[in-house]
Chains A and B, each alone.
Chain A
């Protein structure tokens, strides 16, 4: 083996460019966000107006922020109860080597490659009470203008866009299961339900955990699709945390306040990710 120093020099050559870009354009901004968040600042010259934690108390005392956060939670819950059963059920049907399986998978995956902006605009058109498909069934009904329904319409579009992706995860998960388990269960005279709840679902644990993780992270970051469908309206009924950042800080060059919102979003995301990993690991131990 070469000397450690020479290896270090070679390693540095390969690591430096990537490390530099990563540090300057991702880590530094995040670190700076926590610094700026202590000031009142419009982004020009040098921040001097030190506020301490006032930006944070302002964010955390703002009912609009908590409402937005509540909308993120609704999106997570809605996605969990729709996407997971849908993806699982369809995966079971498709994984059985039926004819046209590839074609079905292709069609289900298609909405996933669209931009969120595109998916949102397509559905804004469909849900238009004068010109969209919904106008054929309920003329003059504007779902996206209804504060009670708009958020669920957004959530439904998120389901439409992403279920194909989760479906592919589930198909991959099903293919990992050892088929001899089912043969053994057949010999024991197990029913289909027993096989599903006794073999398939427990062994899909890691897939379900992964699928759920993507749902949580994506729902916490929801923004583009909301801009395309409702711009956060009507009357903030579809505002999420990132939309709150956009509407209440970015539009007014409130760098300090916006940084504080960004840091809060980071810690909420981190808390969710860590808590989620703990819960799924515990479940894994119980079943495994």
Chain B
């Protein structure tokens, strides 16, 4: 393609300026709400009332510091992290094992089993949530982190199995044949050879499931009762209800709860964007 030639044709200097103008306006629309919230956390309520859009007249750190000084904030962030981390570990291990069996072995009922696993893609959380509450009560898992983790793993299983299955199928068959000749057991092959070669797809599955678990609200809100087990989205909603119109505090709380994910995103944006989109597309 010739210099200056683009998808929509050759472009003059003026139209180039227009392109940047449009892109910048959208960028401001995307960022301004987040920036206004961060700044709102630095204001006093009175400042917010007369000056909602501008910079704080006086930068007040007390809003942020009082939240960081409370044990509740840290405990909820830790709870969310633990639930997300365990969900990822279980999903990656169990889904890759299922996918490995589908890719490696020939056995009766394989087709039926694969359709059975695929069906889960169609089940909305809302349909499962009521009986889930009953089942978890029977297992004594209601109001426990495991009671949130296991349904989350179950819900993410189908997509993870499909992603792993596609990836394993793309691997050379010689690999497992060579391992068999060397007297490698199936498990050793899976654990020592296959998984280390699967880093890209593990990353995709991990990113998709970590972000989804970290941001989960509906399921833990229904299944958890004890405040010490609450995850940050539950805590954030409760905090908002308590504070009413103390928006400077709510802004600070929103900022502090979104901060970790925003930092991780900025640090690894390429992988996260690729993971979240290809994870959605490929399955």
A interface list, Cβ under 8 A from B: 1, 4, 7-8, 10-15, 17-19, 21-22, 24-30, 32-33, 36, 43, 90, 92-96, 98, 104-118, 121-123, 125-126, 128, 130-133, 135-136, 160, 164-165, 168-169, 172, 174, 179, 182-183, 186, 192, 195-196, 200, 210, 214, 220-221, 223-224, 227-228, 241-242, 245, 249-250, 255, 258-259, 261-263, 265-266, 269-270, 273
A136 to B215, CA, bound (A): 31
Contact partners of A43 in chain B: CB under 8 A: 133-134, 137
Contact B154 A92 (CB under 8 A): no
Contact partners of A33 in chain B: CB under 8 A: 127-128, 130-131
The A interface is mostly helix, strand or loop, or mixed, namely helix
Give the residue of A19, A90, A126 whose beta carbon is less than 8 angstroms from that of B33.
A126
Contact A113 B211 (CB under 8 A): yes
Contact B281 A172 (CB under 8 A): yes
Contact partners of A259 in chain B: CB under 8 A: 130-131
A263 to B273, CA, bound (A): 34
B212: shortest Cβ distance to chain A, in Å?
10
A258: shortest Cβ distance to chain B, in Å?
4
Interchain residue pairs with CB less than 8 A apart (24): A7-B107, A18-B95, A18-B161, A25-B128, A25-B153, A27-B120, A43-B134, A93-B19, A93-B23, A96-B8, A115-B215, A117-B215, A122-B33, A125-B37, A132-B247, A133-B36, A135-B52, A168-B277, A183-B1, A192-B9, A195-B8, A221-B126, A228-B240, A250-B129
Chain B residue nearest in CB terms to A224: B217
Contact partners of B254 in chain A: CB under 8 A: 118, 121-122, 125
Give the residue of B22, B23, B240, B265 whose beta carbon is less than 8 angstroms from that of A121.
B240
Which of A24, A118, A192 is packed against the most chain B CB atoms within 10 Å? A118
Contact partners of B108 in chain A: CB under 8 A: 4, 8
Contact partners of B132 in chain A: CB under 8 A: 25, 29
Contact partners of B266 in chain A: CB under 8 A: 106
Contact partners of A133 in chain B: CB under 8 A: 32-33, 36, 52-53
**Apart from the given pairs A94-B23, A182-B7, A269-B122, 11 other A-B contacts in the complex at a CB distance below 8 Å:** A8-B108, A19-B98, A22-B158, A26-B155, A96-B8, A109-B269, A111-B30, A111-B34, A125-B250, A126-B37, A131-B48
Given contacts A93-B22, A116-B215, contact A11 B105 (CB under 8 A): yes
Identify which of residues 136-160 in chain B touch chain A, using a CB-to-CB cut-off of 8 Å: 137, 150-151, 153-155, 157-158
B interface list, Cβ under 8 A from A: 1, 5-9, 11, 19-20, 22-23, 26-27, 29-34, 36-37, 40, 45, 48-49, 52-53, 90, 94-95, 97-98, 100-102, 104-108, 110, 113, 116-117, 119-120, 122-135, 137, 150-151, 153-155, 157-158, 161, 186-187, 190, 211, 214-215, 217-218, 222, 233, 236-237, 240, 245, 247, 250-251, 254, 257-258, 261-262, 265-266, 269, 272-273, 276-277, 280-281
A32 to B137, CA, bound (A): 14
Give the residue of A27, A108, A117, A126 whose beta carbon is less than 8 angstroms from that of B30.
A108
Given contacts A14-B97, A114-B261, contact A262 B126 (CB under 8 A): yes
Contact partners of B9 in chain A: CB under 8 A: 192, 195
Contact B126 A125 (CB under 8 A): no
Contact partners of B94 in chain A: CB under 8 A: 17-18, 21
Contact partners of B122 in chain A: CB under 8 A: 266, 269-270, 273
Contact A258 B113 (CB under 8 A): no
Given contacts A28-B135, A105-B273, contact A131 B49 (CB under 8 A): yes
The B interface is mostly helix, strand or loop, or mixed, namely helix
Given contacts A18-B98, A22-B117, A111-B30, contact A30 B154 (CB under 8 A): no
Contact B34 A122 (CB under 8 A): yes
A122 to B258, CA, bound (A): 11
Give the residue of A93, A126, A130, A255 whose beta carbon is less than 8 angstroms from that of B130.
A255
B112: shortest Cβ distance to chain A, in Å?
12
Contact A126 B236 (CB under 8 A): no
Contact partners of B250 in chain A: CB under 8 A: 121, 125
B247: shortest Cβ distance to chain A, in Å?
5
Give the residue of B26, B49, B53, B258 whose beta carbon is less than 8 angstroms from that of A114.
B258
Contact partners of A261 in chain B: CB under 8 A: 126
B216: shortest Cβ distance to chain A, in Å?
8
Contact partners of B130 in chain A: CB under 8 A: 29, 33, 36, 249-250, 255, 258-259, 262
A79 to B159, CA, bound (A): 24
A48: shortest Cβ distance to chain B, in Å?
15
